[in-house]
A and B are shown apart, each in its own frame.
Chain A
């Protein structure tokens, strides 16, 4: 099964994998070992996804700052590079998918040129994005996500030029704090939106914590590193406000019944990550609202296959499980594709798949604790009336509530009323908030409120690029 060119820009493969993070890399390696004609595509110039970003071109100093979890991705990335060099795997960096359909035709921009790809199976490994953090002033320059801070460190060795404020909750917030401290960056304060470790909760999840002890131990180590550095740490903060004229100047918050004001030009926000479901929604695949992770999860069978036959989803794009789970799910999805294509012994497949599922279960043991401990509080997900929900079209939570009072019962109606979700980001930054604001205002469950009807093009393209499609 070799690729053939139907026209200049059309390619055919057995399997196309979207996203070269841990899930996509592991899926690609498994599939290529079984001689599937596989194409791995990714938006970035290098493999690794967000978690292992720039893993192929980092240096020992930066690796020391980023820590051993980051270095772990090096092995996968090296194997992918070997497979590509040996001609066992096709890899297109700098490629953005803007349409996927149920017939398994993909349209993408490869280095700015339109390409069409036909395939028998697709694994969507598009990963996670950070949960929106709608607070007053979150659109000001200088206010960024903690993930953005990490990407600047991994990709460009860049750090805040002056003392930085970190606000929110979750492992990634403490990780970037520890990494900044190792890099000699001054942290003005950490504003924790949780009330500290809930020991009663930890006790209840004792068995899970024991199973996930490696992970728990790392978390405790990071928190100790931060505490030993003497960084001011405020627990259970409320009423977070980011203020400034044309850029961030001050961070205000309440803590311990007192109002605080910190001068700062950079504030990094984080309250967990959620699956990036833009592609799976565009396929009209079945999704469900997950009350423990407070986000949409695409429905999958035991082989990671969506309700759309032949299209699979693995990694954090399926449900948040972290990099190790993502790699295991990538392999499992690849086995699902082998099963679908029917050219591998089914007994071997079933045995391998069971082994992977057991490892996934062990790795996921700590998640219920993390989901409870770092559950973002309502006030930071379902904001007050004056807060911008849709950054692109500048629609406030209050305006969404007014539209609900007028009879809007879902995000597609509020979109028609206010353009909320219609700007350049196509609802990526406001979708979850809008679902939850409508749910709260209407008394409906998020599951019944639903989500935006996501349509192609998933990425902006010019008419010229569209005209290159040769059909």
Chain B
């Protein structure tokens, strides 16, 4: 359990499996164990990730909104392919995930402060 996570798993006596199967993935190059049977987006939220990507114009922080494949706010890079929907992806052992918050985005130079002082990928703190 991660302090500061927006969402946490219920204790077993309140509805969760006591020890769900997990897989090891890499989040921004840091090893992380996630439950195997829940979506990648859910696992990342429980791991304390609050910044999944930057908005493409302002560079502001974004995280999952709908969890059902509609809003596209949970886009992450998976195994070198950018812009994958984390809410529709199941974690697999060895999967390499990167939050998309260090990319320059599509802004014109000077529009957003994201290239010079980009925030550290949140996952490394998690």
Contacts and interface: CB of A to CB of B under 8 A. Distances in A.
**Could you tell me the dominant secondary structure of chain A's interface residues?**
loop
A460 B70 CA distance: 12
B14 A156 contact: no
A409 B56 CA distance: 27
B72 A147 contact: no
Interface of A: 43-45, 50, 57, 59, 61-62, 64-65, 96, 129-130, 138-145, 147-148, 151-152, 155-161, 183-184, 246-247, 265-266, 276, 391-394, 423-425, 428-429, 460, 462
Interface in B84-98: 88, 90
Contacts, number: 145
Contacts of B61: 140-141, 246-247
Interface string B35-53: 1011100110110001110
B21 to A, nearest CB: 12
A247 B65 CA distance: 12
Interface residues of B, number: 47
A303 B45 CA distance: 43
Most chain B Cβ neighbours within 10 Å, of A147, A155, A184 = A155
Interface in B6-43: 6-10, 13-17, 35, 37-39, 42-43
Interface in B63-97: 63-73, 75, 81, 83, 88, 90
Of all A-B residue pairs in the complex, the 5 with the closest CB atoms, nearest first, are A141-B63, A157-B16, A156-B38, A424-B72, A148-B67
Interface of B: 4-10, 13-17, 35, 37-39, 42-43, 45-46, 50-52, 55-58, 60-73, 75, 81, 83, 88, 90, 119
7 contacts: A140-B61, A144-B64, A152-B7, A156-B42, A158-B46, A247-B50, A265-B6
Nearest to B119: A246
B7 A160 contact: yes
B65 A144 contact: yes
Given A147-B66, A156-B42, A159-B8, A425 B72 contact: yes
Most chain B Cβ neighbours within 10 Å, of A155, A156, A393 = A156
A152 B65 CA distance: 11
A304 B89 CA distance: 32
A148 B66 contact: yes
A158 B67 contact: no
B68 A151 contact: yes
Contacts of A62: 15-16
Nearest to A424: B72
A141 B60 CA distance: 10
A45 B64 CA distance: 19
B15 A157 contact: yes
Contact of B71 (A151, A152, A393, A429): A429
A57 B35 CA distance: 14
Nearest to B49: A141
B86 to A, nearest CB: 12
